[in-house]
């Protein structure tokens, strides 16, 4: 996947390569709490009533309850409280931007302490240390219904698990050869280390009743009409498959590639040392993907990493906390500038980029007329993921109502086609957060269950 | 988009006696409840509104706030105070409230209705009326008519009521306990629980008196006489009523060790070996409850923890207790009730030849020196302070260590100091039989 950069030196060849440092650079960004730290932290929780942190958690985890369980040394109980609401609670504990979710709402921010309870790390403590002889959730009696889920990302997996719990049979159709979606291929390596994503999926599947078929791509070797015919309901958890283009000439030049493609390889490799590294590189965008890319490049050994964003710092989609991570890793940030031209060397490789300075005029972004150049061996674009319309190419899928590019759903996560539901990043409004995708999957499962039950009653 | 237009069914069912596959139900002196977690007679059980909320939250039973003679008691304003820890956590709780301040008629009506609506939960009525038979003969048929499962005699309120010849005054007099219990058995057909006051010298005397009177069970402890703190600027204790104060009744975490001992005393008293005990005092977690049950309680009652956190704590209590039981293979509350009683004995029966000594795990030690100074100043000078190339190091002088546990208690690091039992090669020898004991009994 990194072939556009294959002519660049590998991580082993740049700078002062040291395998241990490299491994370290990609180990846990926030190390887990020790037993004692978890105990002290759990006792900081006030066990608030109608807790604001719960309201802020997109997956409705009963936070005060699981923290009290930790403080009572009931780790399995704590884990079950978490997983009951969010079966991917282990990955959410690692990837949730807690600084804008639960922890931002924690009442401990207010008083003299000015510091929230470390909810994410406590959630991780419980899910890391749980130990069940058998899967903690039981399946209800079989309903005889069979549901198709397309996409084995957080949305699809969460939906499948809840459906299985409610007594349905589930088949997941996944385009890739591995489950997990962006948990497997997209999340920064230092946020979710080792093979956690895979282990979590294996745990989730222990409930039984879920079958995953790999290499099955809707819009390619799979049609929505067939799925609707063969299954009682269909859930679409397709995510966002394509990276937005810059719209400049030379976008296919060696040295320029989508950040997500590079991250995908970075997450999968067994040997970080063989990854191509651009000593000087540019990342375009200011979302979490851009920050992840810039930070990971710096940690691989790049010496000059420049992140360029067309607006000001305040407008950056990445949270303040994420921006700080990038800065700590020596990432330079340039704001109010947008790509103008890709600069190439005599061999046609990327040599840098010319940027047009921008400003806001009457509420609209406009070039000031000034330009500047940044030399670089590679450019990564991270200006957002788009919905891959190819997935909805077949005649039935093409009928799905859309809201912009994404799939339109109602409050029950129903699409415009009967018995077809959707959730996660591929719907509007998606928040592009793992935890939101998990919640959509869970809620859609309940909506499907209720609709099927109603049908049964009517029949 | 976090909510559906309908509520997905949750797994929690408050009335289920089976939690995590474990049956938590109890039959306490003939009173059945889906779990052993009951609310003690106090403000949380003052009226139907609270009690219904408690049942909805999953409590297995409640003891209704103590009923008395008409006219109802009158309370002062400013009623509670607390003994705080360094982080403002409430260690102990103090109150100067009286029994119910609502009319008997309203209480009886509400009790009747609640029992009708919640037949599967235990509902026990706490009563305190003057120490004359007519008073009991009058109120008991009224309580019996409510359909409640049993009564609890409040003979232990440490403030306010004793001044009227009720409560602790009765609870401190074994003859009166026996007499009142006897009247209750005479005028009431269902189980009678006698609630004991801890404000006495020997708790067993009260339990024995209750048994003699025909009690079906005892419950303990009620609150302990207390003053939590003094406002040093105004030279008055808390809670302050105007410019004065009075002693109150102490409860909450701080009283748990006292209550546990009193429960154990009764459980292992040969005079009351099978008398059912409802354990009360400082119970806030599943573990506290498990400890009371292991020492002889057949059900537990909670007041302060619910008052500080709300009724929902019962969820974590039931979850924690049932998981622990499953892990240990206990399939019912009875299966581990009283399990720690045989190992609780008098000092004189302990093995005088047993020897344990402290061991410091040098990898865990953070070199704070607390163990050293504790042992050096106040114990047996058994920890050596060494300075090795500028590094601090603390080592146990094994020959000197008497195994008092002080260093382990003061060490801030969990599991850093462990007490290691030693192989002495000596046989079990109780002090009763020790040749060094001038009053020894020949073995
Ligand atoms: C680089 C990057 C970093 C991120 N970091 C964070 C973070 O730190 N914290 C956070 O909360 N969120 C983060 N996100 C967002 C988060 O990963 C997503 O919101 C989440 O994964 C969405 O889940 P999903 O199931 O909707 O989609 P996905 O995870 O994208 O899963 C979709 C699945 O469907 C499959 N699929 C797609 N099309 C088809 C088809 N036609 N037929 C069959 N299968 C198909 C895909 O292969 C994939 O397995 C990040 C995203 C990116 C790109
Ligand atoms: C405010 C308050 C009022 C109480 N009122 C009564 C009462 O009316 N009758 C009674 O038997 N016990 C009463 N108690 C005592 C409790 O029932 C219980 O025995 C005691 O608080 C110990 O339990 P805890 O540590 O869980 O609070 C009261 C306690 C408090 C805090
Ligand atoms: S799922 Fe995420 S937002 Fe919710 S409590 Fe856990 S870390 Fe916080
Ligand atoms: S807001 Fe903070 S203190 Fe309150 S329950 Fe949530 S984590 Fe605990
Ligand atoms: S008290 Fe514990 S941590 Fe401190 S010096 Fe002693 S052994 Fe070490």
Quickly name the fold that domain A35-129 has.
Fumarate Reductase Iron-sulfur Protein; Chain B, domain 2 (1.10.1060)
Name the burial class of residue B46, with classes exposed (0-12), middle (13-18) and buried (19+) by CB atoms within 10 angstroms of its CB.
Answer: buried
Name the burial class of residue B372, with classes exposed (0-12), middle (13-18) and buried (19+) by CB atoms within 10 angstroms of its CB.
Answer: buried
> Distance from the CA of B38 to the center of ligand 1, in angstroms?
48
pLDDT at B3 over 60: no
For residue B10, name the pLDDT band (cuts at 50, 70, 90).
low
For residue B1, name the pLDDT band (cuts at 50, 70, 90).
very low
Write the residue with the smallest CA distance to atom 3 of ligand 3: A57
Closest approach of chain B CAs to the CA of A69, in angstroms? Answer: 6
Report whether B170 contacts B197 (CB < 8 A): no
Instruction: Name the closest residue on chain B to residue A73, using Cα atoms.
Output: B320
Candidate CATH numbers 3.30.420.40, 3.40.50.300, 3.50.50.60, 3.90.1150.10; the one for domain A146-241+387-458 = 3.50.50.60
Q: Which residues of B touch A72 (CB under 8 A)?
A: 285-287, 316, 320
pLDDT at B164 over 50: yes
Quickly name the fold that domain B18-336 has.
TIM Barrel (3.20.20)
| pLDDT single digits (tens) B334-367 | 999 999 999 999 999 999 999 999 999 999 999 9
Q: Give ∠ CA A150-A156-A162 in degrees, rounded to 5.
A: 125
Share of chain B above pLDDT 70, in %: 94
Which DSSP category does A250 fall into?
Answer: T
Mean pLDDT, chain B, whole residue set: 93
Q: Are the beta carbons of B315 and A35 separated by less than 8 Å? A: no
Element (H, E) at A358: strand A350-361
Helix-strand-coil split of chain A, %, nearest 5: 40, 20, 40
Q: Which residues of A touch B315 (CB under 8 A)?
A: 65
| pLDDT single digits (tens) A175-226 | 999 999 999 999 999 999 989 999 999 999 999 999 999 999 999 999 999 9
Of B5, B89, B320, the CB nearest to A74: B320
Q: Which of ligand 3's atoms lies nearest the C-alpha of A435?
A: 1
**C-alpha to C-alpha distance for A49 and A109, rounded to whole angstroms:** 16
Q: Which residues of A touch B318 (CB under 8 A)?
A: none
Q: Are the beta carbons of A77 and B287 separated by less than 8 Å? A: no
Which residues of chain A fall below pLDDT 70? 430
Q: Which residues pair with B419 in a beta bridge?
A: B358
Of B4, B6, B316, the CB nearest to A68: B316
| pLDDT single digits (tens) B244-298 | 999 999 999 999 999 999 999 999 999 999 999 999 999 999 999 999 999 999 9
Task: Please tell me if the CB atom of residue A70 comes closer than 6 angstroms to any atom of ligand 4.
Answer: no
Q: Are the beta carbons of B1 and A447 separated by less than 8 Å? A: no
Q: What is the CATH number of domain A244-385?
A: 3.50.50.60
Asked, colleague to colleague, whether A35-129 and A146-241+387-458 share their fold, the answer is no
Domain boundaries, chain B: 18-336, 347-433
Q: Which residues of A touch B320 (CB under 8 A)?
A: 69, 72-74, 77
Quote ipTM for the complex. 0.90
State yes or no: is B157 an active-site residue. Answer: yes
Work out the average pLDDT over B117-130. Answer: 96
Q: Which pLDDT does position B4 carry in this prediction?
A: 64
Q: At what angle do helices A154-165 and A196-205 cross, to 10 degrees?
A: 20
| pLDDT single digits (tens) A360-373 | 988 899 999 999 99
Q: Which pLDDT does position A247 carry in this prediction?
A: 87
Q: Are the beta carbons of B320 and A60 separated by less than 8 Å? A: no
Q: For chain B, positions 133-162, list CB contacts with chain A under 8 A.
A: none
Q: Give ∠ CA B334-B337-B341 in degrees, rounded to 5.
A: 150
Report whether A220 contacts A390 (CB < 8 A): yes
Share of chain B above pLDDT 90, in %: 86
**pTM score, whole prediction:** 0.93
| Architecture of the CATH domain B347-433 | 2-Layer Sandwich (3.30)
Give the number of whichever ligand sits closest to the CA of residue B124. 2
Q: Are the beta carbons of A447 and B4 separated by less than 8 Å? A: yes
């Amino acid at each position: 996947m990194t072939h556009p950069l294959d002519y660049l030196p590998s991580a082993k060849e740049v700078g002062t390569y040291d395998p241990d440092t490299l491994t370290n650079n990609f180990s846990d960004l926030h190390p887990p709490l020790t037993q004692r730290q978890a105990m002290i932290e759990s006792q900081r929780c006030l066990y608030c009533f109608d807790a604001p942190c719960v309201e802020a958690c997109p997956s409705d985890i009963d936070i005060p309850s699981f923290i009290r369980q930790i403080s009572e040394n009931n780790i399995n109980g704590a884990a079950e409280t978490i997983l009951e609401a969010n079966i991917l609670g282990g990955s959410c504990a690692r990837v949730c931007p807690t600084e804008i979710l639960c922890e931002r709402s924690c009442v401990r921010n207010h008083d003299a302490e000015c510091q929230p309870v470390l909810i994410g790390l406590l959630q991780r403590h419980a899910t890391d240390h749980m130990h069940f002889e058998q899967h903690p959730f039981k399946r209800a009696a079989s309903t005889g219904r069979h549901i198709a889920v397309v996409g084995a990302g957080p949305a699809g997996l969460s939906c499948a698990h809840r459906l299985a719990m409610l007594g349905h049979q589930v088949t997941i159709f996944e385009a890739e050869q591995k489950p997990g979606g962006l948990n497997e291929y997209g999340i920064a390596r230092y946020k979710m280390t080792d093979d956690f994503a895979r282990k979590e999926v294996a745990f989730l599947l222990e409930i039984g009743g879920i079958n995953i078929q790999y290499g099955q791509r809707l819009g390619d070797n799979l049609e929505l009409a067939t799925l609707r015919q063969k299954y009682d309901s269909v859930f679409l958890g397709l995510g966002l498959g394509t990276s937005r283009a810059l719209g400049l000439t030379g976008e296919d030049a060696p040295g320029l590639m989508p950040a997500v493609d590079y991250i995908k390889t970075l997450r999968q490799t067994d040997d970080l040392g063989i990854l191509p590294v651009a000593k000087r590189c540019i990342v375009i965008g200011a979302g979490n993907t851009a920050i992840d890319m810039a930070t990971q490049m710096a940690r691989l050994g790049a010496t000059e990493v420049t992140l360029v964003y067309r607006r000001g710092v305040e407008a950056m989609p990445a949270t303040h906390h994420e921006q700080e991570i990038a800065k700590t890793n020596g990432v330079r940030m340039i704001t109010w500038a947008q790509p103008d031209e890709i600069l190439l060397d005599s061999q046609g490789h990327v040599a840098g980029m010319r940027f047009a300075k921008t400003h806001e005029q009457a509420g609209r972004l406009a070039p000031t007329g000034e330009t500047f150049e940044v030399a670089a061996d590679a450019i990564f674009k991270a200006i957002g993921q788009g919905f891959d319309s190819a997935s909805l190419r077949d005649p039935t899928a093409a009928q799905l109502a859309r809201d912009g590019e994404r799939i339109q759903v109602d409050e029950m996560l129903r699409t415009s086609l009967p018995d077809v539901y959707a959730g996660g990043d591929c719907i509007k409004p998606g928040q592009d957060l793992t935890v939101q995708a998990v919640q959509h999957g869970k809620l859609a499962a309940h909506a499907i269950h209720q609709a099927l039950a109603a049908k049964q009653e009517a029949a | 988009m976090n909510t559906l237009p309908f509520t997905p069914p949750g797994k929690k069912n408050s009335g289920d006696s089976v939690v995590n596959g474990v049956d938590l139900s109890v039959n306490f002196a003939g009173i059945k409840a889906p779990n052993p977690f009951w609310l003690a007679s106090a403000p949380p059980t003052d009226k139907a509104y609270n009690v219904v909320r408690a049942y909805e939250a999953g409590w297995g039973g409640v003891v209704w706030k103590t009923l008395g003679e008409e006219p109802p008691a009158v309370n002062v304003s400013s009623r509670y105070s607390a003994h705080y820890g360094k982080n403002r956590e409430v260690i102990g709780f103090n109150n100067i409230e009286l029994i119910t301040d609502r009319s008997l008629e309203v209480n009886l009506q509400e009790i009747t209705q609640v029992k009708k609506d919640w037949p599967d939960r235990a509902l026990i009525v706490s009563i305190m009326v003057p120490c004359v038979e007519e008073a009991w003969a009058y109120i008991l048929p009224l309580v019996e008519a409510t359909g409640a499962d049993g009564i609890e005699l409040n003979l232990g309120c440490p403030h306010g009521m004793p001044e009227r010849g009720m409560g602790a005054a009765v609870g401190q007099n074994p003859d009166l306990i026996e007499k009142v219990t006897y009247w209750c058995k005479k005028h009431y057909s269902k189980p009678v629980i006698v609630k004991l006051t801890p404000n006495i010298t020997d708790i067993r005397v009260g339990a024995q008196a209750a048994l003699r009177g025909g009690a079906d069970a005892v419950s303990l402890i009620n609150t302990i006489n207390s003053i939590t703190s003094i406002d040093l600027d105004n030279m008055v204790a808390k809670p302050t009523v105007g410019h004065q104060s009075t002693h109150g009744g102490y409860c909450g975490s701080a009283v748990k060790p006292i209550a546990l001992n009193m429960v154990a005393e009764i459980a292992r008293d040969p005079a009351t070996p099978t008398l059912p005990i409802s354990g009360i005092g400082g119970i806030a977690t599943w573990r506290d409850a498990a400890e009371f049950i292991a020492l002889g309680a057949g059900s537990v009652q909670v007041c302060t923890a619910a008052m500080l956190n709300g009724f929902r704590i019962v969820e974590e209590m039931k979850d924690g207790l049932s998981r622990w039981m499953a892990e240990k293979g206990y399939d019912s509350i009875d299966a581990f009730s009283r399990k720690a009683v045989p190992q609780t004995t008098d000092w004189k029966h302990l093995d005088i030849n047993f020897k344990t000594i402290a061991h410091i795990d040098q990898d865990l030690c953070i070199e704070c020196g607390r163990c050293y100074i504790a042992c050096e100043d106040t114990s047996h000078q058994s920890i050596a302070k060494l300075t090795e190339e500028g590094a601090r190091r603390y080592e146990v002088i094994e020959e000197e260590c008497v195994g008092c546990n002080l260093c382990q208690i003061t060490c801030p690091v969990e599991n850093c100091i462990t007490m290691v039992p030693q192989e002495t090669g000596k046989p079990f020898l109780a002090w009763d039989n020790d040749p060094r004991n001038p009053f020894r009994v020949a073995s």
